[in-house]
Chain A
Amino acid sequence: MNSKISNIQRLSNPTAHSLSVAGFFAVMILLIGSVYYATITVDYIWRWYKVPTYFMYKETVIIYADSNGEVKEIKPNGDKFDVIITDDQGDITYTVPKDSFDLDEGDFTSPGDLIAEYEGGWKPGMMTVGLWITLKISFISTILGIFIGILGGVARVSSTPVLKWTAITYVEIIRGSPLLVQIMIAYFVLGTTINKILMMNGLPSLDPEWYGIAALSVFTGAYVVEIVRAGIGAIHSGQVEAARSGGMTYFQCMYYIILPQALKTILPPLAGQFINLIKDSSLLGMISIRELTKATREGITTSLQAFELWIMCAILYLLMTFTLSMCIQYLERRTATK
């Protein structure tokens, strides 16, 4: 199948083929060149060296005294020192590296006095944390979205009105309204109510993250329903007849016969849907979830280097979507050989 298509597409003349390849690179170089030209023309000072700290930075630990006290004892503890300060509350022990403090035994401390300042370990920057949250939310929403989509898709093609009409209503409402509104309703309306009920029963309230995940998976699920429906519709009706005439129930027929075949045709549109999901998760900043986009925006308020951080943000989204797209292409190839 594949070889047939590429035979039609391949230019018969090898010179024409290599010229065409060269043409591709020419277009790419022209594109990158003009973007570069634009960046040097624009009135903006690029400070790329500021970017890495938003991914990974060395923490500076500064310890201040918070009461009137006296340094009772300084004793070595491994390669560090224990500084013990006594105040009216009792003893407080600070374990700090050598040379990070300028105190002697018997010194008095008052609130706000510097006790120690030293370099701590490596910490993930806010973009890294944002990336992780985006990944986590997208992953859970994808799984839930598939789940909702398959159930809804099977309901959508059934002839039972309660299943079919519920599925249609769900799809039409969710697909037809903006995701931003759905996220706000999920958090500010449903979220408030649910948290109130949880609190009345003495349970801890849920993080905004969970409402964000719920909104995203319900939104994606609606599209997956239609994808699954189309996939099921593409299976020849003879398959259902063969399965049912052997005595299988409707759900056995769906689960063992129809869905495994439909999966093959729904993989490519499903990939597109989940790429959209990753990008749509950027709207969750609305409900104070610090995913990648929100983290970028916060980063810009401190660094004032808007372009660098937005470009990094876009590259990270690209990396995620491209990896996903590769994974699904791999799955497609695997199911195609069967």
Chain B
Amino acid sequence: MIDVKNIYKTFFVPHEVKALVDVSNKIEAGEVVVVIGPSGSGKSTFLRCLNRLETAEHGQILVDGVDIFDPKTDINKVRAEMGMVFQSFNLFPHLSILGNVTITQKLVRKRSKRDREKKAMAILEKVGIADKAHAHPSNLSGGQQQRVAIARALAMDPKIMLFDEPTSALDPEMIGEVLDVMKTLAREGMTMVCVTHEMGFAKEVADRVIFMDEGKIVEEGTPVHFFENPDHDRTKLFLKQIL
């Protein structure tokens, strides 16, 4: 589904950092991939390259066979099929919850008002906040806001969901409700790429764990392999530090 071929990315501001160095990976349809790594390891940059929020200097990313770094590609079309959830929610504060979940459907999918509201309500029901449909984002807790953000992405019927540390900005007691929604999605067979520090989530739902450090993929494998019997010393050190 997504084929990442030898991508490189360097940031020059505020100082030179090699965020991605020769990263290649293949993500299959229906797969749940969890990306783990210390901060500054390039895992977020990797995720953001998948829908071209960042562009790589070298290398290629094919999404369903389409080269997304090709200037001739209509990136908006590719992005419409990829939902993204951010660490800081990024809900649109000037719109109601319903407005947040319907606006991309309206502008990108061109759905009728009835269709998009029906869709929105069904998804809000699924993530458990249908009763807040007419509230504004500022009146919701962090966990509720993140669930709305997931609903907003799901309303587009994406083929793949990208999660960029979705629980890192949440109070501890709210992490569970967001992870529950993500677990449900995983069980339903959604293709997911998830950057997270939630090891429990990785163990429970990941089909594959990728461990990154200093812009490279150090280790990848099943959760069992990764948590119980990793090959590399760097991985062992990381696991020792966090567990």
Residues of chain A whose beta carbon lies under 8 Å from any beta carbon of chain B: 236, 238-239, 241-249, 252, 256-257, 260-261, 338
CB distance from A153 to the nearest CB of B (A): 18
CB distance from A255 to the nearest CB of B (A): 9
Contact B90 A241, beta carbon cutoff 8 Å: yes
Contact A241 B53, beta carbon cutoff 8 Å: yes
Interface of A is mostly: helix
Answer yes or no: B136 CB below 8 A from chain A CBs: yes
**Residue in A245, A252, A260, A338 whose beta carbon sits within 8 Å of that of B79 in the complex:** A245
Chain B 118-149: CB-based contact to A (< 8 A → 1; otherwise 0)? 00000000000000000010000000000001
Add 5 more A-B contacts to A245-B82, A246-B153 (CB < 8 A): A238-B86, A239-B90, A246-B152, A252-B108, A260-B94
- How far, in angstroms, from A242 to B162 measured CA to CA in the complex? 12
- How far, in angstroms, from A246 to B88 measured CA to CA in the complex? 16
Chain B 90-128: CB-based contact to A (< 8 A → 1; otherwise 0)? 111110000000011001100000000000000000000
23 A-B residue pairs with Cβ-Cβ distance under 8 Å, sorted by A, are A236-B90, A238-B88, A241-B53, A241-B86, A241-B90, A242-B91, A242-B92, A242-B149, A243-B92, A243-B104, A244-B53, A245-B162, A246-B80, A246-B152, A247-B104, A247-B108, A248-B104, A248-B107, A252-B107, A252-B108, A256-B107, A257-B103, A260-B94
**Contacts between chains A and B (CB distance < 8 A), count:** 63
- How far, in angstroms, from A203 to B84 measured CA to CA in the complex? 57
A residues in contact with B94, CB < 8 Å: 260-261, 338
CB distance from A254 to the nearest CB of B (A): 12
CB distance from B98 to the nearest CB of A (A): 15
Contact B88 A257, beta carbon cutoff 8 Å: no
Sorted from nearest, which 6 A-B pairs have the closest CB atoms?
A: A247-B80, A242-B90, A246-B104, A238-B90, A245-B84, A247-B108
Once A241-B53, A256-B103, A256-B107 are accepted as A-B contacts, the answer to whether A248 and B76 lie under 8 Å apart by CB is: yes
Answer yes or no: B156 CB below 8 A from chain A CBs: yes
Answer yes or no: B232 CB below 8 A from chain A CBs: no
CB distance from B14 to the nearest CB of A (A): 16
B residues in contact with A247, CB < 8 Å: 76-77, 79-80, 104, 108, 156
- How far, in angstroms, from A241 to B136 measured CA to CA in the complex? 20
B residues in contact with A245, CB < 8 Å: 51, 53, 79, 82-84, 162
B residues in contact with A260, CB < 8 Å: 94
Nearest residue in A to B80 (C-beta to C-beta)? A247
CB distance from B123 to the nearest CB of A (A): 14
Contact B79 A244, beta carbon cutoff 8 Å: yes
CB distance from A268 to the nearest CB of B (A): 17
Contact B92 A246, beta carbon cutoff 8 Å: no
CB distance from A252 to the nearest CB of B (A): 5
A residues in contact with B80, CB < 8 Å: 246-247
- How far, in angstroms, from A302 to B93 measured CA to CA in the complex? 59
A residues in contact with B103, CB < 8 Å: 256-257
Chain B 50-90: CB-based contact to A (< 8 A → 1; otherwise 0)? 01010000000000000000000000110110111010101
Contact A248 B93, beta carbon cutoff 8 Å: no
Q: Which residue, B79, B84, B90, B152, has most C-beta atoms of chain A within 10 A?
A: B90
- How far, in angstroms, from A254 to B174 measured CA to CA in the complex? 32
Nearest residue in B to A247 (C-beta to C-beta)? B80
Nearest residue in B to A241 (C-beta to C-beta)? B53
Nearest residue in B to A255 (C-beta to C-beta)? B107
Once A257-B92, A261-B94 are accepted as A-B contacts, the answer to whether A242 and B86 lie under 8 Å apart by CB is: yes
B residues in contact with A246, CB < 8 Å: 79-80, 83-84, 104, 108, 152-153, 156
CB distance from B158 to the nearest CB of A (A): 9
CB distance from A55 to the nearest CB of B (A): 45
- How far, in angstroms, from A245 to B164 measured CA to CA in the complex? 12
A residues in contact with B136, CB < 8 Å: 338
B residues in contact with A238, CB < 8 Å: 86, 88, 90
A residues in contact with B152, CB < 8 Å: 242, 246
CB distance from A84 to the nearest CB of B (A): 71
CB distance from A180 to the nearest CB of B (A): 40
Contact A261 B51, beta carbon cutoff 8 Å: no
- How far, in angstroms, from A246 to B101 measured CA to CA in the complex? 11
